[in-house]
Amino acid sequence: MKTLMLRRNIWLIFLAVISITTLLYFGAIRIVSYVSSTSAFASSYDCITNIVDLFDDQSIHEIEVIMSDDDYEKMITTYKENSEKEYCKVDVVIDGVLINDVGIRLKGNLTLNTALGTMDNMNIGDDQMNGFLGMGKNGEIPDVNDMPEFMQRDGFGLPMNFEDPALALPEGQIPPGFDFENMREGGIKDMAGGQIPYLLKFDEFVEGQTYEGYTEIAIRTGDIAQLAEQITYFAYELAGIIAPDTSYASVTINGETQLYSLAQNIDESFLTEHFENSDGVLYKAGNFVQIEYLGDDPTLYAESFEQKTNKNDDDLTPLIDFLQFVTESSDQEFAEQLGDWLDINSFMAMMVLDELLGNSDSFVGMGSNFFLYYDKEIKQFTILSWDANMSLGSGMGGGMGMGMGMNQNGQDQGILQNQAEQPDNTDGILNDEFDVINRPQGGNMKSGSNLLKDRFFENEEFSTMYEGVYENLETLLYSSDILLRKIEESSAVFEQYNKEHDILDIEEYSSSVNKVINYIQQKMSEFK
Give me the pLDDT at residue 451, please: 95
DSSP string, 3-43: HHHHHHHHHHHHHHHHHHHHHHHHHHH-B---B---SSSS-
Q: For residue 439, is pLDDT > 90?
A: no
By CB neighbour count within 10 A (0-12 exposed, 13-18 middle, 19+ buried), where does 428 fall? exposed
Q: For residue 132, is pLDDT > 60?
A: no
Helices 228-239 & 460-478, crossing angle to 10 degrees? 110
What does the pLDDT look like over 95-119, one tens digit per residue? 999 999 999 999 987 788 888 887 6
The closest alpha carbon to 317, from 353, 280, 286, 366, belongs to 280
Rounded to whole angstroms, how far apart are CA atoms 448 and 444? 8
HSE-CB at 321 with a 13 A cutoff on CA atoms is 12
The closest alpha carbon to 315, from 289, 287, 283, 291, belongs to 283
Rounded to whole angstroms, how far apart are CA atoms 234 and 242? 11
- 219-223, 280-284, 422-426: range with lowest mean pLDDT: 422-426
Residues 6+ apart with CB under 8 A from 14: none
First to last CA, the chain: 82
Q: What is the largest CA-CA distance in the chain?
A: 101
Phi then psi for residue 290, to 5 deg, are -90, -10
What does the pLDDT look like over 168-189, one tens digit per residue? 333 333 333 344 444 434 444 4
What does the pLDDT look like over 331-352, one tens digit per residue? 999 999 999 999 999 999 999 9
Rounded to whole angstroms, how far apart are CA atoms 318 and 195? 38
The closest alpha carbon to 239, from 351, 92, 376, belongs to 351
Rounded to whole angstroms, how far apart are CA atoms 119 and 187? 9
Residues 6+ apart with CB under 8 A from 191: 111, 114, 115, 221, 222, 223, 224, 394, 395
Q: For residue 232, is pLDDT > 90?
A: yes
pLDDT band at 194 (very low <50, low <70, confident <90, very high): confident
Tell whether the torsion through CA atoms of 221, 226, 230 and 232 is positive or negative. negative
Percent of the chain's residues with pLDDT above 70: 67
What is the arithmetic mean of pLDDT over 230-256?
96
Q: How many residues does the chain have?
A: 528
Rounded to whole angstroms, how far apart are CA atoms 356 and 401? 9
- 61-75, 179-193, 446-460: range with lowest mean pLDDT: 179-193
Rounded to whole angstroms, how far apart are CA atoms 496 and 493? 6
Phi then psi for residue 212, to 5 deg, are 55, 30
Give me the pLDDT at residue 193, please: 57
Name which residue leads in pLDDT, 106 or 393. 106
Q: For residue 445, is pLDDT > 60?
A: no
How high is the mean pLDDT of the chain? 77
What is the arithmetic mean of pLDDT over 507-517?
97
| SS3 assignment, position 263 | strand
Phi then psi for residue 176, to 5 deg, are -55, 135
Give me the pLDDT at residue 434, please: 30
* DSSP structural state of residue 267: S
| SS3 assignment, position 371 | strand
What does the pLDDT look like over 486-506, one tens digit per residue? 999 999 999 999 999 999 999
The answer to whether residues 468 and 474 touch, using CB atoms and an 8 Å cutoff, is no
The closest alpha carbon to 306, from 395, 372, 226, 405, belongs to 372
What is the arithmetic mean of pLDDT over 358-379?
94
Name which residue leads in pLDDT, 430 or 481. 481
Q: For residue 140, is pLDDT > 50?
A: no
Give me the pLDDT at residue 254, please: 87
What does the pLDDT look like over 244-270, one tens digit per residue? 999 999 999 988 999 999 999 999 999
293 residue type, one letter: Y
Phi then psi for residue 337, to 5 deg, are -110, -10
The closest alpha carbon to 292, from 318, 322, 315, 314, belongs to 322
123 residue type, one letter: N
